[in-house]
Structure 1
Amino acid sequence: MPSPTCANTPLDTSSSQAPRLEALIFDWAGTLVDFGSFAPTQILVEAFKCFDLNLNLEQARSAMGIGKWDHIKAMLALPEVHAQFMAQHKREPDDSDVDRIYNTFLPMQNERVGEFSAAIPGARETLSWARRQGLKIGSCSGYPRLVLDNLLQHAHRQQVFVDYHVAFDEVPQARPWPAMALENVIRLEIKNVGACVKIDDTPVGIEEGRNAGMWTVGLLLSGNAAGLTELEFLALDEENRQTLRDRAAGSFDHAQPHYLIDTVAQLPAVIEQITERMAQGECPSDSL
């Protein structure tokens, strides 16, 4: 009996071949650049400080992956930060307060994103490998277009190139909604969302991929889940690395990624596994 295929998988009617993988869609900070994903978090802490609100890195990381305006709104709702705001203003924070912090944060981030733009080890090699396999390469980001364009200039200087990129403020609803991932599908002329892989260092980015109907790969040690600098990562012995890996994996539980790896450098081996599963007729929705 032939292997089952997805009901929504377009097949070549002149052939019984299983559908082939078509595209990889990457996040940016913590995935391709910025080991530890510090640009979206450290600068957010500093922006809150401008308003005499104390926000630590752990708190800033708790809502990573969503658009930055929504991220700021989520931070104002944290009990500790909310209490500080109430003590200062004797009222609830509203959207105008989010606007004020965002309008302070945005130029700070745009000015300093280059400080946190170093390519993650293995990113260039993985992108080159993917192109040799004939895969299209898309991307999306929680950065607004202004900041993403700035980041792209730094990435290009390091030979980190993608075929398409979309920012959170270019879609009606960003993560965990699938709009950014699906915008890549449209612009890259992908035939089948089930022939795409979404790679991200945050659970909400994995949800985005799953909601789009894609395979998903979560990154444990290069991004937000671990929050390490590259030097801190390299200094870990295997025992401590495994402890951190296990803790980071727990943060992805509810998002249910199909695969978890340390960094993008390990992606080619996973892509080969996904290719084999697709050859057997498996789809992203079939299993974890």
Structure 2
Amino acid sequence: MRSYSGPVKAAILDWAGTTVDHGSIAPVRVLQQVFAGRGVPISEEEARRDMGVLKRDHIRKILFGPNVSAQWHDAVGHEPTEADVESLFANFVPLQLECLVKYSAVIDGVAATVARLRKRGIKVGSTTGYTRSMLDVILRLAAEQGYQPDCAITPDDVGGGRPHPWMIFANAIRLQVEPLEAIVKIGDTAVDIEEGLRAGVWTIGVARTGNMIGLSAEDFAALSPAEQAMRLENARIQLSAASAHEVIDAVADCEVALDAIEARIRHGERP
């Protein structure tokens, strides 16, 4: 079969840390609150380690980690179980819904960039680690700020979250885009990149605004230039190590990366 040599037809963007919530703050704060409420405080590093997966899966990964599992046994009196995962998730959902309102500002440049992508014929989809009820809150708030993707898929819609590629496949179907080589996934976590690679699409990692640095725009701006540069370089290295095809600092920088991917397509490369 002849390989694809045309333009990028769709960009599928992540939410927290990529298009909204600079630094991906909301899920971290709520995860820490939920675990602390059971007498098991977790660090920000522990809360961020598996960011991007479905939140129930995220809680499971934290709970069954060696350090947290041991603390749980000491605090609760038994080894963690799946029932504990469900109980923590039940606590997480209302707190996260409440927190999203505070941490759902659209990141600078996203709305304008998406408008330019549409002018060049690129459809805009999205995937997330949030549930449908959570994403519906974000969709409403983001639309009020000028950002509204053409398609917004959650793990609830397809029976599972990242790193499975199913949300990307659902985007392709709803956006009516083929082949998969004409799609680019853009996200700020390693599991975003894995999701894209498993789906057979191109991937772009987002360094500055996302989970790898984990700071609000204001807190990042308050760092010294040397500290900013060091943290950016570390985030870029992590995303490159996850096998992202291109790495950018923010969605506002994605057009250059998309141009580079289109050049690679014309030269016969496949994701």
TM-score class normalised by the smaller sequence = over 0.9
Partner-residue secondary structure (3-state), 1:277: helix
- Pairing of 1:26-105 with structure 2 (within 5 A): 26-105=13-92
**2:193 maps to which of 206, 209, 213:** 206
Larger Rg: 1
User: Cα RMSD over matched residues?
Assistant: 1.4
Partner-residue secondary structure (3-state), 1:107: helix
Matched, 1:279 2:266: yes
Aligned partner of 1:96: which letter?
A
Partner-residue secondary structure (3-state), 1:81: helix
In the other structure, the counterpart of 1:147 is 134
Partner-residue secondary structure (3-state), 2:211: coil
**Given that residues 240 and 246 in structure 2 are in contact (C-alpha distance below 8 angstroms), is that contact kept between their aligned partners in structure 1?**
no
Question: Which string of whole-angstrom CA distances, capped at 9 and with x for unpartnered residues, describes residues 9-29 of structure 1?
Answer: 46xxxxxxx322110000000
**Given that residues 6 and 262 in structure 2 are in contact (C-alpha distance below 8 angstroms), is that contact kept between their aligned partners in structure 1?**
no
- Pairing of 1:242-257 with structure 2 (within 5 A): 242-257=229-244
Q: CA deviation at 1:238?
A: 3.6
- Pairing of 1:207-222 with structure 2 (within 5 A): 207-222=194-209
Partner-residue secondary structure (3-state), 2:97: helix
TM-score (normalised: structure 2): 0.96
Pair 36,59 (structure 1): closer, same or farther in 2 beyond 3 Å:
same
Question: Which string of whole-angstrom CA distances, capped at 9 and with x for unpartnered residues, describes residues 117-157 of structure 1?
Answer: 01111101110110110111000100000000011111000
Q: CA deviation at 1:97?
A: 0.3
Q: Distance in 2 between matches of 1:232 and 1:9?
A: 45
Aligned partner of 1:52: which letter?
G
Q: CA deviation at 1:255?
A: 1.9
Q: Distance in 2 between matches of 1:89 and 1:270?
A: 49
Matched, 1:169 2:156: yes
Segments of structure 1 that go 5 or more residues without pairing to the other structure are 1-6, 11-17
Q: CA deviation at 1:239?
A: 2.6
Q: Distance in 1 between matches of 2:67 and 2:135?
A: 30
Aligned partner of 2:40: which letter?
L
Q: Distance in 2 between matches of 1:282 and 1:176?
A: 23
In the other structure, the counterpart of 2:181 is 194
Question: Which string of whole-angstrom CA distances, capped at 9 and with x for unpartnered residues, describes residues 57-78 of structure 1?
Answer: 1110001010000100111122
TM-score (normalised: structure 1): 0.90
**Given that residues 197 and 215 in structure 1 are in contact (C-alpha distance below 8 angstroms), is that contact kept between their aligned partners in structure 2?**
yes
Figure out how many residues of one structure are paired with residues of the other and give that number.
Answer: 271
- Pairing of 1:223-238 with structure 2 (within 5 A): 223-238=210-225
Question: Which string of whole-angstrom CA distances, capped at 9 and with x for unpartnered residues, describes residues 163-182 of structure 1?
Answer: 00011222223111111111
Q: Distance in 2 between matches of 1:230 and 1:237?
A: 13
Segments of structure 2 that go 5 or more residues without pairing to the other structure are none
Moved over 6 A (4+): none
In the other structure, the counterpart of 2:9 is 22
Q: Distance in 1 between matches of 2:75 and 2:263?
A: 58
Partner-residue secondary structure (3-state), 2:191: helix
**Given that residues 9 and 192 in structure 1 are in contact (C-alpha distance below 8 angstroms), is that contact kept between their aligned partners in structure 2?**
no
Question: Which string of whole-angstrom CA distances, capped at 9 and with x for unpartnered residues, describes residues 94-134 of structure 1?
Answer: 11100000000001101220110011111011101101101
Aligned partner of 1:98: which letter?
V
Q: Distance in 2 between matches of 1:267 and 1:191?
A: 21
**2:95 maps to which of 108, 114, 120:** 108
In the other structure, the counterpart of 2:253 is 266
**Given that residues 35 and 228 in structure 1 are in contact (C-alpha distance below 8 angstroms), is that contact kept between their aligned partners in structure 2?**
yes
Q: Distance in 2 between matches of 1:89 and 1:21?
A: 51
**Given that residues 19 and 195 in structure 1 are in contact (C-alpha distance below 8 angstroms), is that contact kept between their aligned partners in structure 2?**
yes
Once the two structures are aligned, what percentage of the paired residues are identical? 37
